[in-house]
Structure 1
Amino acid sequence: MRRWFWWLAAALAVVLAGVVAGVVVLRDGEEPVVQATPTGPALGVFLSTSPSDVERFGDWLGRDVDYVIDFSMRRTWDDIAEPDYWLETWQDTGYRMVYGLAMLPEDEKLDVSLAAGAQGRYNRYFRQLAENLVAHGQGDAILRLGWEFNLGAWRWHPGDAEDFTGYWRQVVTTMRAVPGAQNLEFDWNVSNGGSRYDSTRFYPGDDYVDYVGVDVYDISWSKGTYPYPAECDAACRLKRQKAAWNSTMNAKFGLAFWSAFARSRGKPLTLPEWGLWDRPDGHGGGDDPYFVERMHDFITDPANNVAYQAYFEFDVGASGDHRLSQMTESGTIFKQLFG
């Protein structure tokens, strides 16, 4: 009798552990089997507009991808409002979509401005986009509206806070009002780092933001970081990688700052793009397992409240390469930590 009691207690312990750490699979005539499931924030990836590439990435990693990052064409208003190829490609794939959404088209012949957007003059385009998202079964998409607005290269890089925040509120209010679009979410998404441009001046308000997002890459121009000097051995590289990470984390507007800012607003933090960077100018860490380890520590730390994170698995040509498949040491560590 006592032996039966202890066997039952042990079986219950396995089942309870499975509820916390995995999935319990019961087969006729066999002991309960616990299959481990990934823990931590949802995993995403950017691999261009290609479901098959995302599936191959999941096969390589040994786990399913939860979220997919993509960007629509954005030369004209039609590109922004009716990205049919984009929406049709991802329809019924089962991924939670995270879309980079341009605030203004890039065609320089078009006379557009954030100020006009704040007056509601472009609302019809975003209403049309919301209708298209719903029609393609993506009414729960996450929209990175005006992503990385703190970088001067984007047409929606703001100087006037009222224009940017007013326009943001117009877009969010317009899209949320579309029937079936009530589950759309908006990610207020900056690029990490720097010490002069205070992006918080352009925060549109808690009622219009669902996530605070930060894009993070292994790059640095700080003294003692990158480029690696000639004849830099393993110890030399690690020293510079650690210095670069310190800048990534502790710059005035580094990761530590954004984690605290998101917490102060009561919003989850996201990492819609992060990655290694092998750059032609040498200001990236290249194959840097230390960066992957530190990012994993940051992502899985409950204090940072990361809702989702996505690796930028892409070759950007003349600007460099982010692909883990081309950085074998980092790829191995990434699989061990995130697979």
Structure 2
Amino acid sequence: MSHRGRWLAGACTSTVAAALLLTGGALSPPPRDVSRGDGGTEVAVGAYLHYGSHGVERMQGLSSWLGGADLRAGHTYLPGDTWENIEGAPDSLRTWARWRKARADRLFVLNVPMQEHNEGGVPERRIAELIRSGAQGEHDHHFRRLAERLVDLGVPDTVIVLGWEMNGFNYTHRCKPDPENWKRYWRRIVAAMRSVEGQDFRFDFAPNRGSDAIAWTRCYPGDDVVDVVGMDSYDQPPGHSFDEQVVQPYGLQQQVDFAKAHGKQISYPEWGLFRNGDNPEYMRRMLAWIADHKPLYHSITDYCPHGVWQCGQNPRSAQVFREFLSTEQGRGGPSGFGREDDGEWERESGARSPSRPRS
């Protein structure tokens, strides 16, 4: 869901995470598969841990906590503050590219804003103007530049989560002010990025679960410019129970049905706990849903209040997550994680609390 509070949330980092990061996870067993998709294809498991290079560094710690689970989806965001950053300026992209290229079966998932000042509280009228400008090609060069950078970095097969949560209320790349031109703008971006020699991008259309500000089906830009139908789905209304989250209009079941009707894979770029605190039943049901429906990838948002490894306030949900995904089932649930003085851990480890890029 689109929530500014997610971007500002503090992280409750675990003692286990700190120890593993300090040791580099040296005692962890070799990575092993944690789930399989249709026809033997693996479902790529990942987590959003930090948008910069720290996110890459923490992947090994999370894998170790999961008993050596094979985390194949590396997920980060481009800041939506300036066009320069949307063009791929952050140096951390090099670190993510090195991680991706270390193994042929990994996925690099990159959330890409469609407008600068993406969390700037831009009014509806101005957003409609920006959408129309984009639909007319004014911003094509920014996205060609991003595509060129990704190809040059050796990650031409990046999964691009473009204009995520477009059916919401907050982001400047939201769809509601002008759905028809928004779809034209998406199509121009995809055309611009696909025009770059050597690219093999996949484009992930990922709304919020539910109708939110507008039914997300009204924003769908067409089968020829969408490769994956994703959904960001947190444990919060609309949908007080998991069953309601499945059956609500524009909910989880409609996503699956829509993707099937359009011949697309599904994904869950963002999911996790939110309004209902430590909720092991939600965690259990969401993981079972993912196992049953076999998305291309899923990525839990792993900082407080959403997460399970870097956040110590959800111990029961963390135990469910760990037992479900761990490849060492005899080890028991997580212990000793959750630390009140996050600043102390940062001083000891030299790392920063995880955060998504902010405008």
Q: TM-score, normalised by structure 1?
A: 0.75
Q: What pairs up with 1:1-339 in 2 under 5 angstroms?
A: 37-40=33-36, 41-48=43-50, 49=52, 50=54, 51-62=56-67, 63-94=69-100, 95-106=106-117, 113-158=130-175, 159-181=177-199, 183-194=200-211, 197-220=214-237, 225=240, 244-277=241-274, 284-301=275-292, 304-315=293-304, 320-324=305-309, 325-326=311-312, 327-339=314-326
Q: Output the CA distance in 2 between the equivalents of 1:45 and 1:97.
A: 12
**Farther off after superposition, 140-149 or 212-221:** 212-221
Q: C-alpha offsets along residues 183-225 of structure 1, whole Å, 9 cap, x if unaligned?
A: 1110001010247721111111111000000011111266xx4
Say if 2:308 and 2:317, in contact at 8 Å, map to a contact too.
no
Amino acid at match of 2:318: G
Amino acid at match of 1:43: V
Aligned residues: 272
- Name the structure where strand makes up a greater proportion of residues: 1
In structure 2, the CA distance between the partners of 1:149 and 1:195, relative to structure 1 (3 Å rule), is closer
In structure 2, the CA distance between the partners of 1:195 and 1:102, relative to structure 1 (3 Å rule), is closer
Q: Output the CA distance in 1 between the equivalents of 2:212 and 2:114.
A: 25
Q: CA deviation at 1:37?
A: 3.3
**2:27 corresponding residue in structure 1:** none
The alignment partner of 1:298 has SS state of helix
Amino acid at match of 2:182: F
Q: Output the CA distance in 2 between the equivalents of 1:168 and 1:314.
A: 30
Q: CA deviation at 1:160?
A: 2.0
Say if 1:47 and 1:312, in contact at 8 Å, map to a contact too.
yes
Large movers: runs of 4+ above 6 Å: 109-112
The alignment partner of 2:317 has SS state of helix
Q: Output the CA distance in 2 between the equivalents of 1:166 and 1:314.
A: 35
The alignment partner of 1:120 has SS state of coil
- The runs of 5 or more residues in structure 1 that have no matched partner are 1-34, 226-243, 278-283
- The runs of 5 or more residues in structure 2 that have no matched partner are 1-30, 37-42, 101-105, 327-359
Q: TM-score, normalised by structure 2?
A: 0.71
Q: CA deviation at 1:73?
A: 1.6
Bigger CA radius of gyration: 1
Amino acid at match of 1:312: T
Q: Output the CA distance in 2 between the equivalents of 1:213 and 1:271.
A: 5
Q: C-alpha offsets along residues 165-199 of structure 1, whole Å, 9 cap, x if unaligned?
A: 10111011110110111x11100010102477211
Q: CA deviation at 1:270?
A: 0.5
